[in-house]
């Protein structure tokens, strides 16, 4: 199996943002992961764990469908990838374990540091502030 291209076709614009017709294009990689690129005034690229996640979030109960541009292919016998369902789950909260700040925007609202300056609060790591 190789990467497989698709488009999202929106029949009804539930959000009122993207319009109808082709609204995004994407590719499903050999391991099942998906990269999705949105059309429009503010193009955005997102990455998903699988096509099922894309449909669950953006399908809106059938208002948007996947149009495959490439035929489905058989698995590549030379490629030894573990099936996605055997990989351990990685829930989003565990991906970034840095503590959340108390003030949602401390770099811009600390009265004693001016509007845009100073060091981050002592409880913050540099990873959290400058990533």
Comparing CA positions, the residue from 98, 105, 104 lying closest to residue 123 is 98
| SS3 labels along 22-44 | EEEEEEECCCCCEEEEECCCCCC
Phi, psi of 61 (to 5 degrees): 65, 35
Give me the pLDDT at residue 130, please.
Answer: 47
List the beta strands (DSSP E) in the chain: 4-10, 21-28, 34-38, 45-48, 64-68
> Tell me, what's the pLDDT at 127?
54
Give the pLDDT confidence score for residue 131 in this predicted structure: 45
Q: Where do the domains of the chain lie? A: 4-72
**pTM (two decimals):** 0.59
């Amino acid at each position: 199996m190789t990467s497989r291209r698709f488009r999202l076709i929106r029949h009804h614009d539930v959000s009122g943002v993207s319009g109808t017709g082709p609204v995004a294009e994407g590719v499903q990689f050999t391991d099942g992961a998906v990269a999705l690129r949105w059309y429009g005034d503010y193009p955005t690229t997102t990455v998903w764990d699988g096509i099922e996640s894309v449909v669950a979030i953006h399908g809106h109960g059938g208002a948007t469908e996947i149009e495959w541009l490439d035929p489905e292919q058989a698995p590549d016998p030379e490629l030894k990838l573990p099936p996605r369902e055997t990989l351990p789950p990685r829930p989003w909260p565990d991906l970034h374990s840095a503590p959340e700040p108390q003030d949602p925007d401390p770099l811009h609202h600390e009265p004693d540091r001016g509007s845009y300056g100073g060091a981050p609060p002592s409880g913050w790591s540099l990873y959290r502030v400058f990533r």
